[in-house]
């Protein structure tokens, strides 16, 4: 069943411990894979995966006979991709030392997971008020947007702080 494969991100959702965290790690892997493609292809890919996720999540809920089943992790994949979007195509980011870029990716991962797990403000409201496949995806999309804001501010601060003359590409 294609819908279950998509909803569980190739079976990652069946892992017995922390499937959402592993789903988010799939998002990090996809981010690294498509990082150099540019912002527009990245955005189109995330939007397409999000739409596919709405369909697959709705189907998986029906098959699993459970609303927002923990095995559905496509929402974490998409949310993580949204959080990391500020690092795609940001001018100068590629010139930072690798360890700085890695620190930003880790910051994005942690920010998304905190918003996804704690569900502050809008994240919790969206989760309570949206159902079906869209409901599964919506809270993680909002968590991803909040994570993107945090990550974007961190990246901006780092780029502003890091001396332009010292930027080297390895």
133-153 residue pLDDT tens = 999 999 999 999 999 999 999
* Residue 170 resides in a domain: no
For residue 128, how many other CB atoms are within 10 A of its CB?
Answer: 11
* Residue 86 resides in a domain: yes
The parent domain of residue 59 ranges over: 2-164
* Residue 108 resides in a domain: yes
Integer CA distances (angstroms), 159 to 111, 148, 167, in order: 19, 16, 9
* Residue 75 resides in a domain: yes
The region of weakest confidence among 16-30, 56-70, 80-94 is: 80-94
Dihedral sign (CA 36, 155, 100, 84): negative
76 vs 91, which has greater pLDDT? 76
Residue 169 has pLDDT above 70, yes or no: no
Whole-number average pLDDT of the chain: 93
pLDDT class for 160, splitting at 50, 70, 90? confident
Nearest CA-CA partner of 9 in 53, 76, 73: 73
pLDDT of residue 170: 47
Do residues 96 and 169 lie in contact, with contact meaning Cβ atoms separated by under 8 Å? Answer: no
pLDDT class for 103, splitting at 50, 70, 90? very high
* Residue 117 resides in a domain: yes
Residue 165 has pLDDT above 50, yes or no: no
* Residue 70 resides in a domain: yes
pLDDT class for 93, splitting at 50, 70, 90? confident
Highest mean pLDDT out of 36-50, 91-105, 156-170 = 36-50
pLDDT of residue 150: 97
pTM over 0.75: yes
pLDDT of residue 164: 58
DSSP secondary structure, 10-28, as one string: TTGGG-SS-HHHHHHHHHH
CA distance 31 to 34: 5
Q: Which residue has the tokens 């890919």?
A: 45
CA distance 131 to 155: 34
Mention every residue, 6+ apart, whose C-beta is less than 8 A from residue 84: 27, 28, 31, 105, 108, 148, 151
Q: What is the DSSP secondary structure assignment for residue 36, as one 8-state letter?
A: G
Q: How many domains, the chain?
A: 1
Question: What percent of the chain is modeled with pLDDT above 70?
Answer: 96
Q: Residues 18, 19, 22, 24: what is their CA dihedral angle, to the nearest 10 degrees?
A: -110
């Amino acid at each position: 069943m294609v819908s279950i494969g998509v909803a569980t991100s190739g079976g990652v959702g069946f892992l017995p411990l922390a499937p959402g965290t592993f789903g988010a790690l799939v998002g990090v892997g996809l981010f690294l894979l498509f990082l150099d493609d540019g912002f527009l292809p990245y955005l189109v890919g995330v939007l397409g995966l999000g739409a596919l996720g709405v369909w697959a999540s709705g189907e998986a809920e029906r098959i699993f006979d459970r609303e927002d089943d923990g095995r559905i992790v496509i929402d974490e994949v998409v949310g993580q991709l949204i959080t990391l979007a500020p690092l795609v195509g940001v001018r100068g980011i590629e010139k930072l030392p690798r360890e700085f870029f890695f620190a930003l990716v880790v910051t994005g991962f942690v920010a998304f997971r905190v918003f996804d797990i704690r569900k502050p403000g809008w994240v919790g409201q969206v989760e309570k008020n949206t159902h079906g496949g869209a409901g599964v995806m919506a809270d993680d999309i909002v968590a991803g947007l909040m994570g993107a804001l945090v990550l974007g501010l961190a990246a901006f601060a780092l780029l502003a702080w890091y001396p332009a003359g010292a930027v080297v590409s390895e």
